[in-house]
Amino acid sequence: MSDAKLQSVLSSLSQVHRQLNSLPSNAAADDECIKLNTNENPFALPAPVLESAVAALERQYLYPEDDNVSLRDAAAASYNLSRDQVIAGNGSSELLSLIYKAFLDPGDTLAMLSPGFAYNHKLALLQGARLLEIRWGETCLLPIRKLLFGPAKEAKFILLANPNNPTGTFVPIADIESLVAQSDRLIVVDEAYVDFAPDSALRLVDRYPNLLLLRTFSKSYAAAGIRIGFGLGHPEVIGRLRNIQNMFNMNVIGHAVGVSILAHQTAYAENHRHIQYERVRVNFALSQLGFSVTPSHTNFLLVRVPAGRDGAWWQTCLKRKKILVAVLPDEGLEDCIRVSIGTKPQMDAFLAAVEDILGSETSQRSAV
């Protein structure tokens, strides 16, 4: 296509989409690397859950069930809600995008606790909306007054994650209830990591029509590649979100695995215990090596690296040793890395790589 024709095609994009650059193709994943950068749960599915996935392949020629009714019924029974209080999604990220489409017009404002999920910046841009970032308070207390008054007063809805990504911190459910009770706006609470935390806001769903919870099976149930998420809230809110959802938004494997996970949640108890144990062990080991680790209620650690280097430097050094960790774009986190909790051998390899890098740094400084 000639440059003139290409420019003609691109000029016909919507004003919002013209602000997005063409997305380049990413490099293929290196299977030799240990992935500690995306908070996946690296363990195998329990046998009955895996069997449900294999059985679902025999129905590959059928469209999945419309409106995810059986999966919503299973979630409703598990969470002690009605079917009309549940929406099922192709991961909770799909449900988050539906919330933006349903509640925002161009020029509207939403408020997000920051640092938070970076994907919200793109979702706001696509809706032509303004994303107002409200910093967490000291010691990660919920800044209720800032969310209810001031610039956030005009926000159509408020987003927060509990436990929070990327900090791993948790706020008491009583604080969330105080915010929801005092606000007449939608409060969206992302509980992606709640199975690693001490409490949940689930009991508030029946009490407050302006509360919407998001759940996912990607983190604590080892199903990130299958894409299963839920929204839990008032039937009127849930029904309007379902009305704008793509038809057949989930596949037959996702349906079957989601129903099976809900029926076999106790089979994940050892998985969760392992992650919590490794989280404590790695936290202690890094602290002994001079890193500062934020106490976490998730399957990852936010780690502040020793002075003299930033997070990007450590990410590059670890990648050379086939260990992948995340760095964060948020202001104030430039000297941090985020490390997912994997298997014991994976975490042993990570700690060995860290010690090796520190040793090389010490040797270089001694030689100067």
- pLDDT tens-place string over residues 153-207: 899 999 999 999 999 999 999 999 999 999 999 999 999 999 999 999 999 999 9
Which stretch of DSSP H or E encloses residue 231?
strand 229-232
257 and 140 in a single domain? The answer is yes
Whether residue 277 sits in one domain with residue 241: no
Give the model's pLDDT for residue 136.
83
Supply the pLDDT for residue 40: 95
pLDDT tens across 275-290, in order? 999 999 999 999 999 9
State the CATH number of the domain containing residue 276: 3.90.1150.10
When mean pLDDT is compared across 128-132, 150-154, 175-179, the lowest value belongs to 150-154
Give the domain-ending residue among 232, 263, 294: 263
Which tokens is 133 given? 């970032």
pLDDT at 10 over 70: no
pLDDT of residue 18: 62
Confidence of residue 360 (pLDDT cuts 50, 70, 90): confident
Amino acid 31: pLDDT: 74
Residues 110 and 165 in one domain: yes
- For residue 22, being part of any structural domain is answered with no
Q: Render pLDDT for 23-34 as a digit per residue (tens, 0 to 9).
A: 565 665 667 899
Is 111 a domain residue? yes
Mean pLDDT across the chain: 91
Q: What angle do CA 341, 346, 348 make, to 5 degrees?
A: 100
Please tell me the predicted confidence (pLDDT) of residue 359: 85
Identify whether 91 is part of a domain: yes
Residues 250 and 292 in one domain: no
- The CA distance from 324 to 275, in Å, is 18
Q: What is the pLDDT of residues 292-317, one digit of tens each?
A: 999 999 999 999 999 989 999 999 99
* pLDDT at residue 178, rounded to an integer: 96
Kindly report which listed range (169-183, 229-243, 321-335, 354-368) carries the lowest average pLDDT score. Answer: 354-368
**Residue 224 shares a structural domain with residue 340:** no
- Give the domain-ending residue among 208, 232, 263: 263
Q: How far apart are CA 63 and CA 254, in angstroms?
A: 12
Domain boundary among 263, 280, 300: 263
Q: Does one domain contain both 222 and 333?
A: no
Residue 103 shares a structural domain with residue 144: yes
> Number of folded domains in the chain?
2
What's the pLDDT score for residue 4? Answer: 74
Residue 363, pLDDT above cutoff 80 = no
Residues 249 and 136 both lie in one domain? yes
Residue 139 scores a pLDDT above 80: no
Confidence of residue 6 (pLDDT cuts 50, 70, 90): low
Mean pLDDT of the region 93-113: 95
Q: Rounded mean pLDDT of 335-352? A: 97
Residue 59 is part of a domain; what is its CATH number? 3.40.640.10
Q: Note whether residue 13 is domain-resident.
A: no
Q: Is residue 89 assigned to a domain?
A: yes
Q: Same structural domain for residues 258 and 338?
A: no
Which residues lie below 8 Å from residue 342, measured CB to CB, with a gap of 6+? 34, 35, 36, 42, 278, 350
**Percentage of the chain surpassing pLDDT 70?**
90
Q: Determine the structural domain holding residue 322 and report its residue range.
A: 28-43+268-359
Q: 101 and 118 share a domain?
A: yes
Question: How big is the CA angle at 131 (ends 125 and 137), to the nearest 5 degrees?
Answer: 150
pLDDT at residue 29 in the model: 60
- In sequence order, the β-bridge partners of residue 214 are 190, 231
- Specify the pLDDT at position 237: 96
**Would you give the DSSP letter of residue 322?**
T
Q: Say if residue 249's pLDDT is above 60.
A: yes
- Together in a domain, 177 and 205: yes
Is 152 inside any structural domain? yes
Q: CB pairs under 8 A, 24+ apart, for 107-111?
A: 108/156, 109/152, 109/154, 109/155, 109/156, 110/155, 110/156, 110/157, 110/158, 110/159, 111/147, 111/152, 111/155, 111/157, 111/158, 111/159
Residue 12 within a domain: no
Confidence label for 17 from pLDDT (cuts 50, 70 and 90): low
Q: What is the pLDDT of residue 329?
A: 83
The answer to the question of residue 7 being in a domain is: no
| Alpha-carbon span 74 to 194, nearest angstrom | 19
Note whether 299 and 165 are within 8 A (CB).
no
Are 239 and 103 members of one domain? yes
